[in-house]
Amino acid sequence: MFKHLLPMPPGPNSGKRFFWFSGRAEIALALVVMVTGLKLYVDGTGHRVMVLFLGSALSAIILYGLSHPNSKVRQKLEKWLVSPFSHIPYIFGLYLFFFEGFWRLAKMLDGFSYFELAQAAFFFIGGNMVVSAGYMATEYVHSLKESRQLSH
């Protein structure tokens, strides 16, 4: 009934699938960067907040560089993006989904809170988007490496 309201990703064999997921993951990562940046400004540094801030910023830069081939980020960091560093968004997405998502649910054992439930849902959904885009980024990087090896 509401199928036309939800944008669906391109098919699994489409080359545009990575770019579709990457855009959504970049939005989720930008939200995490903004919230943790504000938290760092107000409360100061903390281990979890720093991991969230740095991991989100680095993952967003990597995904942006890979999904925008003509960007200055891509041109300046080409060798860095097409290296093992391209796995950072995937690993960070797993951290968001499993550690942050489940940790927020575990905090609710002390007492129910709609805010904690909303944070857990955000980290589950956002982590899933980042993991999907991160996995597709690694496949995209592998295809770039293979095409370069074939051209040499």
CA nearest to 36, candidates 100, 84, 91: 100
Q: How is residue 86 written in tokens?
A: 């391209």
| 5 found inside a domain | no
H and E: helices and strands count for the chain: 7, 0
pTM for this one?
0.81
| 111 found inside a domain | yes
Which tens digit of pLDDT belongs to each residue from 26-49? Answer: 999 999 999 998 988 888 888 889
| 3 found inside a domain | no
Domain of 81, in residue numbers: 17-151
At 128, the pLDDT band (50, 70, 90 cuts) reads very high
At 1, the pLDDT band (50, 70, 90 cuts) reads very low
At 9, the pLDDT band (50, 70, 90 cuts) reads low
| 11 found inside a domain | no
| 4 found inside a domain | no
Task: Quickly count: other Cβ atoms within 10 Å of residue 78's Cβ.
Answer: 13
As for how many domains the chain has, the answer is 1
Q: Provide CB contacts within 8 A for 68, sequence distance 6+.
A: 74
Question: Maximum Cα–Cα distance for the chain, whole Å?
Answer: 61
| 63 found inside a domain | yes
| 10 found inside a domain | no
Contact assessment for residue 35 and residue 118, using Cβ atoms and an 8 Å cutoff: no
Residue 147 has pLDDT above 90, yes or no: no
Three-state secondary-structure class, residue 41: helix
Give me the mean pLDDT over the 130-143 stretch. 87
Give me the mean pLDDT over the 51-58 stretch. 93
| 53 found inside a domain | yes
